[in-house]
Amino acid sequence: MSEDSDQPSKPQAGKVWLIGAGPGAADLITVRGAKVLHEADVVLHDALITPDILALCPQATLISVGKRSGQRSTAQTIINQKLVECAYQYARVVRLKGGDPMLFGRADEELTALENAGIDYEIIPGVTTAFAAAAAIKQPLTKRGVARNVAFFTSTTGKDETEEVALPSCDTMVQYMGGQAAMDTAHRLLANGNPADTPVIAIENVSRDNQRMMRLTLGEMALGLPPCEGPVLVMIGEALRKRSTQ
Amino acid sequence: MSEDSDQPSKPQAGKVWLIGAGPGAADLITVRGAKVLHEADVVLHDALITPDILALCPQATLISVGKRSGQRSTAQTIINQKLVECAYQYARVVRLKGGDPMLFGRADEELTALENAGIDYEIIPGVTTAFAAAAAIKQPLTKRGVARNVAFFTSTTGKDETEEVALPSCDTMVQYMGGQAAMDTAHRLLANGNPADTPVIAIENVSRDNQRMMRLTLGEMALGLPPCEGPVLVMIGEALRKRSTQ
């Protein structure tokens, strides 16, 4: 809570909103997010934020902070600096992130930078891509008697490719930015004893006009996903098996 | 996709929207969800949907389908029937669930009932409580070098209390409806070797006027949470340790 902070905000600085844009469709942002976005002076947005979402803030100066996964961590330092600079230049600053800002969003580093600079901020949550994907394919991530819990994860290797990150263990496994890493995940899940016929759904460009859904099995995923250009979400587990009524 | 369905929808039936209301605040529903809610003829809502959200659909007939966790599964059958009945009575039917409808929402059973009855439906995702909680406490669920993945889970015991459900394994653990079950979760995590000083944040009534945040440790949680009347979300892991700048 900002009331907890010992650091008084500098009066000359503006306010920053970290907003989750949701999965991409313009009307899957929250009502609160859309309102603040519509009143923003400047919007610092990720590379993957869709034109549909940016059309919600035609009045704002747009700054693309085009970091994608895999880039050096210095890129994040530059985003942090830019965010603080903007707060001294503009009254209403929005930092717009895909999905929800508190999941895989490097939010801790941006919030630390804002706190160090004594800048007031607020966070507006968003719909994460996994839920939009589940809605699109009409299959819930949890299912009575079948899947009681869900893990969200990204890469399975660390900075050094020889370092293995522990794979989470849940009934339903959702891998963000799963395109390239999917094959490795499949191999590891098979090695852990998961059946080769475990259902997998990979979705590219969730909630956008060019959304593409691929149904496969864990065994097939071990051979690699079909080539994808957009961001891919991979969902694995018995909950993803197609209903007989579907 | 409804295009995939072999079952033609019966022309006399209305359409059903499963909508995620988000955590409770009226403006944390999506723009799409708010629009459909505003045009609904009838809204079947969970017991925990807030008056603030229901104020978005003053034109609709409201039906509380007051299932809470712990009730018999027949309650779900009655909800399924009611939903199908409403689709034959009204043109625009909304089934409104807290958070996102595809997580811990028994959606599979409701969708199966709709599909069996040949009723057209659509799902609108929502902000899950965990993200609203992370926004409120200003601490992300993932954190570079500290927490790479997140698990969402509910109870840790099955229908028969002697049956233990496997505890998921992730860096950040989020237990929904965690009030009563929190003590058991803590005991099991401690037994699995998690340090007693692992940070825990429990939040009651996330995003509502009466939101209450409690910071404690895993060791303290093993002694039980303070008494809570509203729904409680419990978040466990090093990502929840307070920042020095906070």
How far apart CA B116 and CA B12 sit, in angstroms, is: 15
A165 CA to centre of own chain: 19
| Cβ contact, residue pair A112, B31, below 8 Å | no
Mean pLDDT of chain A: 89
**Nearest residue to A45 via CA among A76, A21, A28:** A21
- Per the CATH hierarchy, to which homologous superfamily does domain B129-240 belong? Tetrapyrrole methylase, C-terminal domain (3.30.950.10)
Catalytic residue from among A97, A100, A173, A177? A177
| Cβ contact, residue pair A108, B138, below 8 Å | no
Q: Stretch A209-215: mean pLDDT, rounded? A: 94
Tokens in use for B105? 């929402």
The answer to whether B223 faces chain A, any CB pair under 8 Å, is no
Q: What are the residues whose beta carbons fall under 8 Å from the beta carbon of A70, sequence distance 6 or more?
A: none
Is the pLDDT score of A222 beyond 90?
Answer: yes
Lowest mean per-residue pLDDT among A82-91, A176-185, A227-236, B192-201: A176-185
**Which amino acid appears at position B193 of this protein?**
G
The answer to whether A126 faces chain B, any CB pair under 8 Å, is yes
Is the pLDDT score of A180 beyond 80?
Answer: no
- Per the CATH hierarchy, to which homologous superfamily does domain A2-124 belong? Tetrapyrrole methylase, N-terminal domain (3.40.1010.10)
Interface of B with A in 25-84 (CB under 8 A): 25-32, 34-35, 73
Tokens in use for B148? 């790479």
Note if B184 is an active site residue: no
* Three-state DSSP class for residue A62: strand
Of B29, B141, B239, the CB nearest to A30: B29
Instruction: Tell me the three-class secondary structure of chain B, residue by residue.
Output: CHHHCCCCCCCCCCEEEEEECECCCHHHCEHHHHHHHHCCCEEEECCCCCHHHHCCCCCCEEEECCCCCCCCCHHHHHHHHHHHHHHHHCCEEEEEECECCCCCCCHHHHHHHHHHCCCCEEEECCCCHHHHHHHHHCCCCCECCCECCEEEECCCECCCCCCECCCCECCEEEECCCCCCHHHHHHHHHHCCCCCCCEEEEEECCCCCCCEEEEEEHHHHCCCCCCCCCCEEEEECHHHCCCCCC
Instruction: Measure B63 CA to nearest chain A CA, in Å.
Output: 23
Q: What is the pLDDT along chain B (246 residues), one digit of tens a residue?
A: 444 555 555 458 999 999 999 999 999 999 999 999 999 999 999 988 999 999 999 999 999 997 555 555 458 899 999 999 999 999 999 999 999 999 998 999 999 999 999 999 999 999 999 999 999 999 999 998 899 999 999 976 555 555 677 889 899 999 998 877 899 999 999 999 999 999 999 999 998 899 999 999 999 999 999 888 888 999 999 999 999 898
Higher pLDDT, A244 or B71: A244
Of B107, B116, B137, the CB nearest to A245: B116
* Three-state DSSP class for residue A68: coil
Catalytic residue from among A15, A52, A67, A171? A67
Tokens in use for B95? 């089934």
For an interface test with B, the pick among A152, A165, A177, A201 (most B C-beta atoms closer than 10 Å) comes out as: A152
pLDDT of residue A73: 46
Tokens in use for B185? 């979760």
pLDDT of residue B157: 57
pLDDT of residue B73: 46
Which residues in chain B have their CB less than 8 angstroms from residue A111's CB?
138, 140, 243, 245-246
| Cβ contact, residue pair A151, B141, below 8 Å | no
Query: What residues does each domain of chain A span?
Result: 2-124, 129-240
Catalytic residue from among B46, B82, B100, B221? B46
Higher pLDDT, A88 or B6: A88
- The predicted complex's ipTM stands at 0.91
Note if B242 is an active site residue: no
With CA atoms as reference, the chain B residue closest to A2 would be B246
- Cα distances from A156 to residues A118, B5, B160, in angstroms, run 36, 36, 36
Tokens in use for A222? 């071990």
pLDDT of residue A243: 92
pLDDT of residue A179: 78
Phi–psi pair at A203, nearest 5 degrees? -125, 130
pLDDT grade for A166, boundaries at 50, 70 and 90: confident
| Residue A103 CA neighbour count, 13 Å, CB half | 35
The answer to whether A101 faces chain B, any CB pair under 8 Å, is yes
pLDDT of residue A113: 97
Of A31, A131, A243, the CB nearest to B34: A31
| Residue B61 CA neighbour count, 13 Å, CB half | 9
| Cβ contact, residue pair B100, A30, below 8 Å | no
* Three-state DSSP class for residue A76: helix
Give pTM, 2 decimals: 0.92
Tokens in use for A105? 């969003």
Which residues in chain A have their CB less than 8 angstroms from residue B120's CB?
none
Phi–psi pair at A236, nearest 5 degrees? -130, 135
Is the pLDDT score of A74 beyond 60?
Answer: no
pLDDT of residue A1: 41
pLDDT of residue B123: 98
pLDDT of residue B155: 74
- Cα distances from A183 to residues A175, A221, A223, in angstroms, run 11, 6, 6
Residue corresponding to tokens 């071990």: A222
In the sheet with A42-45, reading across from the earlier edge strand, the strands are: A61-64, A42-45, A92-97, A15-20, A121-124
Alpha helical stretches, state H, chain A: 31-38, 51-54, 74-89, 107-116, 129-137, 182-191, 218-221
